[in-house]
Structure formats: structure tokens, C-alpha cells
Structure 1
Amino acid sequence: MTKSAELSVPALMRKYGLSARKSLGQNFLLDEAALEKVVAAAEIPAQATVLEIGPGLGSLTRHLARAADRVVAVELDQNLIPALQEVLSAEKNVTILHGDILEQNIPALVSDPGYLVVANIPYYITSAVIRHLLEAPVRPSRLVLTMQKEVADRICAKPGDLSLLALSVQVYGEPRPVARIPAGAFYPPPNVDSMVLRVDLYPEPRIPNDQLNDFFRLAKMGFAQKRKTLRNTLSAGLHWAPEKAAQMLAAAEIDPMRRAETLSLAEWARLVCVYRETAK
């Protein structure tokens, strides 16, 4: 058996008595062409640091190690660590950490300006991971994430079909789909196809940092009951009379009868400014 065959995911799983854990959403990306698409999408500068979330059995990590100056790989499943260490034993620029990325202090892991995040993240924590990264004190310059295609489509939505998740990403950066990955590229194959999503972060959020808390507060209210008008959702969330909420929306040049998913980021920004004046 060749060295590459010995380090294949099926061989490692047999050797270490491993099985994919459904509770952790484990679907290992095996297809070499798909792995190369992920790395190509990242456009990793030679001196860059890459944070990888959920390296699994290291298939993507090996590609990242060849492209980046340094890779920090954070794996939640302790059972995978011995196999991962074997796979990456020759990669001296890789640091393997055991832990939950949602409990990690990101600047303690990577403080390098311009670091990138490249990951095949479990579907069930996609939204939470993205929020954790984008709200970190030191934000990455780029995210390249393999995720459920339906979620990627939601993140890239335009006004008229926006969601709280889409706004939460688009306020920080520009998302775009890069490559569709069929279910058969994974082991075990998931029930749906995946998409490689790239998000290039803006130097600063599109809403000023000191207004972000108010933005998210209003947006959460707006999307709490999607079928209701902003006049009704904001009056309920703010405990205001409907007339006062309508006046605030009108002052922001927004029809009070519109729904949250129809507002552009520019309109949300105007609404936040008017709200801050109204709430004084």
C-alpha cells in the first residue's frame, strides 16, 4: 500500500476504529478535484495564516499546508486527533488544536492581520460559526466555506428574499458562490449538495461598529415574524405604539407596510440612524 493510500480517509478510519459521527455532522470531503477547488477559491497568499475549522482527517489541511505559511486547525472530535496527527506529521507549519471553535477566543488562535478561514463546516453549526468569526475582535480578511447549497443561496440573497443570516454576512463582506460540490464527493455522502462560498470582508462593516448592536437588534425584531409588516414587528419589539414605529420608518424613507426581507442594507442603515435619534 502506498503512503497516500495509507493516509486515505477509509484506511485511517479502519486503522483507528473510527466512524463518522452523525451527531457532529461529520461528512469528510474526499474528492481531490473538489479539494483543489476549495483551495483555489481561497487564493491564499504565500505568507498568509489560515484558520481551518473541523479538519476531520486532514484531507483539506494537507492542501492548505502547501499553500499557506501557517495553518491552525481546530477539531472538536477528540477521537480524530491521533489520526489527524499522523496525517499531518510531515507538515511542520500546521498546529492542531482540540476544541469547540464556538468557545475559542479567535485572537488567541490567530492574530495575524489578513488571516483567512477555510473550512468544510458541519451543516448544523454553519450560521453560528459564521457569526462567531465575523463578530470576533480580529476579523478574517476572507472566508471560504463549504456548506449546504441551500444555506449558501440564502446568504447570497438580494433584497426581496433577504434573511437575518444574509444580512449578518453582507454587513461585513461580499458573499459569492464559487463551486458546487456534489454529495458524492463526501464520505459519508450528505443528503444534499454543497456549495463553496467565498466571503471577502470589507475593511469596515457597512454599518459603523458603534451602530451594529442597534442594527442587529432591529433586524432581529424585523425578522421575528416575517409575514408581518415592519410597522407591526418593530412596534411589538420596541414596545412602541404602531404609529410611533410607522413615523420612524417614514422618517427613514421606508414604507411602514413593507416587510423585513425587502429592505436593502442601505435602508437598514438609514433606519438605524433614525432609531438612534428617536430613542434618545
Structure 2
Amino acid sequence: MNVHEILRRFNLRPRKGLGQNFLVDEVHLARIVAAAELSPEDIVLEIGPGLGTLTTRLAREAGRVIAVELDERMLPILQEVLAEHENVRVIHGDILALDPAELIEQETAFTPSASEPMSYKVVANLPYYIASAAIRHLLEARVPPSLIVLTVQKEVAQRMAALPPRMSILAVSVQFYAEVEIVDRIPAGAFYPAPKVDSAVVRLRRRPQPAVSVENVKGFFRVVRAGFSQRRKQLRNALAAGLGRPAREVTAALEAAGIDPRRRAETLTLEEWGRLAEALLLSHR
């Protein structure tokens, strides 16, 4: 059955509030699976399986697939579509409320050890309203995935992969933990119903260590958030307002980090953010 037949059979309509746009193009489905670089040993966490069109393809390539679906209406569809795939487990829940590593431990009876640490991959089709929160949730998880393949709005993908002078807080947050690569572009017509904008597939490959060595990760991101809090302002003004620090103190930290106080947040590299955070945190001890 195709997507239209499945929806008619179960008398369902996609929920706009959940950002439900089902990918129906076979070529792009195949590219997503290829981007995940799967082997029979892999454990895959799929977020938002929807009607199971991608899930069935993941199940053929991976050793185990755990699919987390928020919309309970999809559960009977998934049960039927995935009936022949014994290596798939469907969970009804919100990924933002779940610990990915704990979920995998429960569903696979896998016990990590020093000699065999947990390793899993994530494949997800994320609606706009959840994309940033879900990406951060995964990258900052107790045990983050080794590889993440995301289908997101093209604009979100471009923001993740951006470089100076077009950096964003999302780009800094993602690139701090992972290498970013846009591996496919998907036109709106490849989905049903067709969204108003095109999408892209992004592959995030976890770095062995964060891109920038900082003593205080929370402090680093506090500085980054402050810097981007007023993007039209010069850094010294945005940071002073965002951190509640005197402008002269912020200016001194910027100069100590070798950064012109008149620059704006989107022009800084990850390395410059690292130096700036260290200078600001050091001056506040």
C-alpha cells in the first residue's frame, strides 16, 4: 500500500500541529538509509516513524530498530506495516522526555562495559517546531549517538552547517559536538502532504572530543547564548546585557581573547568562542 491508501484505510489525516509530512519519494528514502551507513550490527533509534515507510528500509539494513512515535494514531499502522520485521520495536512516547541510552538498554538488554561501550545511530524526520530541541537533546545525551541523520527544513539544515560570517547559536551548538554535512536536498513535492518549503538531509558525525576544549561547557554555552541574544548589537553590548556584566569588563575579556569588541556574534569561529568564554569566565572568578 502507498501512503494515500494507508491513510484512507485507517481513516486518518496528517496532523499539521505535529508537522506530519510523510516522505513518499523512493529515491530520497534510499538516500537517507545510505547516509546512515548501516550494518547488521547497528542499533538504530528512529524518531517519528510515521507510517513506517522509512522504518521498513532501516530494518532491512540494521540489526535492531527502535522507533519512537508520538502520535498514538500511528501505532496500529506501524504494527501492521512492520509485522514481518522482528528486529523492530515501536515505542509510543516523546523523545524529548526519554533518555536515548536508557531506552536502548531496556529494549535490547544491552549492558555497556569498558570493553564494549554503547553505540547507536539516530535517523529522524524532525518537524520545524521540535528540530532544535531534539538535536540538542541527542547531542547532549548521557550517551550520545555516534551518527545522526536528520531530515529537516532546508533553512534549519543551512543554519546547522553555517560558517562565519553566518553563524547562529544552532550552528555553534551542533558543530561543538559534531561534524555537519548536508547529504541530500528534498523538494517539497517529495512529501505528502507537501510542506510549504523544501527539506534537506543532514548527517551529524559525533566528534571524539568537542571541537573546542573548554573547562566549563555550561559556561561556554551561557556566553554563546548571551552573544546571540541581541544579534544586531556589537558583541560587547550584547554580552554585557546578556551576562549582566559591566561593559568595560566585557571589553577587556574580548581584547584578551584577541577579538574586536565591535564584531557581531555571527562572525566568530568556534575557536574564538572558546577563547572568549575562557576569558569571561576567568575574569569573573
1:14 paired to 2:8 = yes
CA distance in 2, matches of 1:270, 1:73: 40
Give the partner amino acid of 2:77: A
For structure 2, list consecutive stretches of 5 or more residues without a partner in the other structure.
Answer: 106-116
- SS in structure 2 of the partner of residue 171 of structure 1: helix
Give the aligned partner of residue 237 of structure 1.
242
1:168 to 170, 173, 187: 173
Per the alignment, residue 80 of structure 2 pairs with 86
Q: TM-score, normalised by structure 1?
A: 0.95
Pairing 1:45–2:50 present? no
Q: 2-side partners of 1:103 and 1:121: how far apart? A: 15
Q: Give the alignment of 1:199-218 within 5 angstroms.
A: 199-208=204-213, 210-218=215-223
Q: Between Structure 1 and Structure 2, how many residues are aligned?
A: 274
Which of 253, 257, 264 is residue 262 of structure 2 equivalent to? 257
Distance change >3 Å, CA 208–CA 106, structure 1 → 2: farther
2:17 corresponding residue in structure 1: 23
Partners of 1:127 and 1:199 in 2: how far apart?
13
* Aligned counterparts of 2:177 and 2:256: Cα–Cα separation in 1: 26
- Match of 2:252, as an amino acid? Q
CA distance in 1, matches of 2:276, 2:53: 46
Shift of 1:123: 2.1
For structure 1, which segment, 65-74 or 123-132, has the greater mean C-alpha deviation from structure 2 after superposition?
A: 123-132
Q: 1:196 aligns with which of 187, 198, 201?
A: 201
Matching of residue 145 in structure 1 with residue 139 in structure 2: no
1:224 equivalent to 2:229? Answer yes
Q: How far, CA to CA, are the matches of 2:26 and 2:3 in structure 1?
A: 12
Select the residue among 249, 252, 255 that pairs with 1:247: 252
Deviations 1:64-87 (A, max 9, x none): 001110101000000110011100
Q: Distance in 2 between matches of 1:194 and 1:155?
A: 13
Residue 249 of structure 1: how far off its partner (Å): 0.6
* Superposed CA offset, 1:10-63 (max 9, x none): 122111111100010000111111100100111113201111000000000000
Corresponding residue to 1:105 among 99, 115, 130: 99
Asked if 1:34 is matched to 2:28, the reply is yes
Q: What secondary structure, in the 3-state scheme, does the structure 2 residue paired with 1:34 have?
A: helix
- Structure 2: distance between partners of 1:238 and 1:183: 41
Cα offset for 1:113?
A: 2.4
Counterpart CA distance in 2 for 1:39 and 1:78 is: 25
Q: Gaps (5+ residues) in structure 1?
A: none
Post-superposition offset of 1:166: 0.7
2:110 corresponds in structure 1 to: none
| Counterpart for residue 136 of structure 2 | 131
> Which one-letter code corresponds to 2:123 in the other structure?
V
SS state at 2:212 partner: coil
Q: Distance in 1 between matches of 2:214 and 2:9?
A: 49
Letter of the 1:46 counterpart: P
- Indicate the SS of the match to 2:216: helix
> Shift of the alpha carbon at 1:208?
4.2
Aligned to 2:282: 277
Segment of structure 1 superposing worse, 253-262 or 109-118: 109-118
Secondary structure of 2:205 counterpart: strand
Q: How far apart are the structure 2 equivalents of 1:193 and 1:185?
A: 9
Question: SS of the residue aligned with 1:147?
Answer: strand
RMSD: 1.2
Q: Distance in 1 between matches of 2:284 and 2:136?
A: 27
SS of 1:110 mapped into structure 2: helix
